[in-house]
Amino acid sequence: MLLNTPIENIPLTSSATKRRLKSIGINNFWELLNYFPFRYENYSLISPIDRLQVGEIATIKGKILKVSNAFTKKGFNLQKISISDSSGKIDVNWFNQSYLLRILREGMSLSVAGEVKFFGNTKSFEPREYEILSDENLNQQFIHTARIIPVYSEKNGLSSRLLREKIFRLIMHLNVSRTQDSIPEILPPEIISFNNLPKEIDAYKQIHFPTNLENARKSRERLAFDELFTIQLSAQIVRKEWENEHVGNAFVVDKEKYDLFQRFISNLPFKLTSAQKRVVNEILLDLKQSKPMNRFLEGDVGSGKTVVAAIACYLTYLNGYQSLFMAPTEILANQHFQTLSSLFPTSGVGNTVLKPIETLPSVGLQTGSKKIGTSMQRPLQKRTSDDFDIIVGTHALITKKLKFDRVGLVIVDEQHRFGVVQRAQLKEKGINPHLLTMTATPIPRTVALTIFGELDLSVIDEMPKGRLQVKTFLVPKEKRKSGYEWIKKKIKEEKIQVFIICPLIEESEVETMKTIKAVTKEFERLKKDIFSEFKLGLLHGKVKTKEKEKIMQDFKDKKLDILVATSVVEVGIDIANATIIMIEGAERFGLAQLHQLRGRVGRGDKQSYCLLYTENANEKITERLQLFTRTQNGMQVAEHDLKLRGPGEIFGARQHGYLDLKVASLSDFELIDKSKKAVNYFFSKYSVSNFPEINNRLEEYKTKQISRD
């Protein structure tokens, strides 16, 4: 097929351009065709020169009368080209583009798109795009002018003009060889008809080179529909496969186990919220089934997800199975280990969390820097993975050469997609356990059901009673100094601790180093000039694990008053004595990420505060940050972020990769609903095996998911 042709075979293209195309993920003609424009310029008005009006955007076509190079009074290099048609002539002025003098010659026919403006007192033409015309055919196919043109994201030295030209030639080739190399239709005709969608091949042509903006909109809708249909169909297939799988045994909840289960819950030093009880019941019903649980648990920071997970671990233990509790970082793994160790002591001696229960699981820890060890209340004699009932660790748990013979439950925290690769690794170990994925990232329900459609969704949408809300303020520039003084007073009088967060500029190696330099410089300034009487620590992504752990332990042990950090503290840090978080460059963060950072404080019984600082006085930024100060509910924050900035901002820069949507938008709830209904209809009537093109799309999507896992 033409579309499978490697990009190396693209004609009339330099080797440097081919390398650049590959560097942005364009490896064949199909991927080039799927590099969509993000906006359009309308140059379809073709006007005689004598009818041009100042302020008008149009295309003119004519002969080049004169080409000259000059310098303006302000020192700009001016390339002036006089063009005439049958109605008149006009000067077209380029600035600082001397290379055009080697390309454009007197007597050539030229089409130029741009805006009519005054140059001094004379009406002239300010060009935006041009193309040289064949003398024999002034009505040839236009690519850059005389039509609605696509504008592409420019990456790695690839200009929008170059991309436009390559994609145009590819589409023209598809037109010539329509029967042999045409883009096949992937959907059944009744789904296309019912949803009033254009044909697939027409959608691809019109999204790149639309005859009008309405056709561009319809084409984008069709291809977005395809994308959402593929994602949701893939999720449905995984769900069906999961439902057909079986664990070794369904968990039994007889009277003896149920009594111990209830006793454990009643011995907790707090009452479960009604939302926690509902979620526990949902998990309990799952664990009693012979098919493995595959549940996604979402709950705001501090809503009590870890306790719910611990309850699931306890039921697993009562049935004679192990639980693996996996976290994305060693800091978070250590935190969960501490929490579970206090919830599951071997006796009540020296423990204020629980009253003693005769039957409790043992807790071990395994991370990159720590081998299997025991919980704090146990003597250090148990060393093998099989000796523990709950093993907490990073994802190294399933990749290291550890043997598990009786794992019945895997809990994954803060990794939104526990993917195909990880499941395969567990199966290689002979494990097909129940799976519970947890996140404190607030994700709108529609997004969760689209992206994580293969999982059953549980939401803890209620906070424990008596929890103090974090007071949030957008601090004006003129009050920065008084803000520092207020923080000093709080540290001295109340012996509290403070986070100061500096923004991550961008997640590239070069920009990360710039960020580290910036945060280090800010740390030195704060240490020397502002908070010289206090003890400060510095934390960023390049700090080595052992040093990071020491800094965090010092902060936890109150050896540090202030921790200056990048957003590495976004998850996994639980310091009850930290009651103030000051966020610099707050406009650089999405609202959902700000909410995650705000969740680092308010974990104790003292009133906590979140102070937002920005040097940007833009009205929209101020409005967005003020909205955040008034909103405490994480789900509402995420909904706002979805509307304002898109799905990538919900999950943060490090995690948005699996949301690599080319054309669909997760804020288009109506289209999401349409595509979901279409998937349900498809499943009720057809088999994927009878639709090779759908199967190809599913394989393509699955391959990308595996590469991200």
Answer yes or no: are the C-beta atoms of 663 and 218 closer than 8 Å. Answer: no
User: Is the per-residue pLDDT at 314 higher than 90?
Assistant: yes
CA 455 to chain centroid, in Å, comes to 19
Residue with tokens 């003597």: 379
Identify the burial level of 579 via C-beta atoms within 10 angstroms of its C-beta, where 0-12 means exposed, 13-18 middle and 19 or more buried.
Answer: buried
Report the range of poorest mean pLDDT among 98-112, 174-188, 296-310.
174-188
Alpha carbon distance 437, 412 (integer Å): 5
Q: What pLDDT, on the 0 to 100 scale, is given for residue 486?
A: 96
- Taking only the tens place, the pLDDT of each residue in 375-422 is 443 433 445 667 789 999 887 787 666 777 788 899 988 765 566 667
Q: Find the mean pLDDT for residues 439-452.
A: 78
Alpha carbon distance 312, 310 (integer Å): 5
Strands 122-133 and 109-119: antiparallel
Q: What's the mean per-residue pLDDT of the chain?
A: 84
- Taking only the tens place, the pLDDT of each residue in 32-49 is 999 999 999 999 999 999
Please, which pLDDT band fits residue 7 given cuts at 50, 70 and 90?
very high
Identify the burial level of 259 via C-beta atoms within 10 angstroms of its C-beta, where 0-12 means exposed, 13-18 middle and 19 or more buried.
Answer: exposed
**Is the model's pTM score more than 0.85?**
no
Please, which pLDDT band fits residue 57 given cuts at 50, 70 and 90?
very high
Report the range of poorest mean pLDDT among 1-15, 369-383, 515-529.
369-383
Q: What pLDDT, on the 0 to 100 scale, is given for residue 349?
A: 31
Please, which pLDDT band fits residue 427 given cuts at 50, 70 and 90?
low
Report the range of poorest mean pLDDT among 180-194, 299-313, 342-356.
342-356
- Taking only the tens place, the pLDDT of each residue in 263-291 is 888 888 888 999 999 999 999 999 988 88
User: Is the per-residue pLDDT at 552 higher than 60?
Assistant: yes
Please, which pLDDT band fits residue 111 given cuts at 50, 70 and 90?
very high
DSSP 8-state class, residue 107: T
Q: Phi then psi for 575, rounded to 5 degrees?
A: -120, 100
Domains of the chain: 1-40+158-182 (no CATH), 45-146 (2.40.50.140), 255-287+304-439 (3.40.50.300), 471-631 (3.40.50.300)
Q: What pLDDT, on the 0 to 100 scale, is given for residue 516?
A: 66
Count of beta carbons in the 10 Å neighbourhood of residue 151: 14
Identify the burial level of 557 via C-beta atoms within 10 angstroms of its C-beta, where 0-12 means exposed, 13-18 middle and 19 or more buried.
Answer: exposed
Q: Which DSSP string do the residues of 576-628 spell out, in sequence order?
A: TTEEEEEETTGGGS-HHHHHHHHTTS--SSS--EEEE--S---HHHHHHHHHH
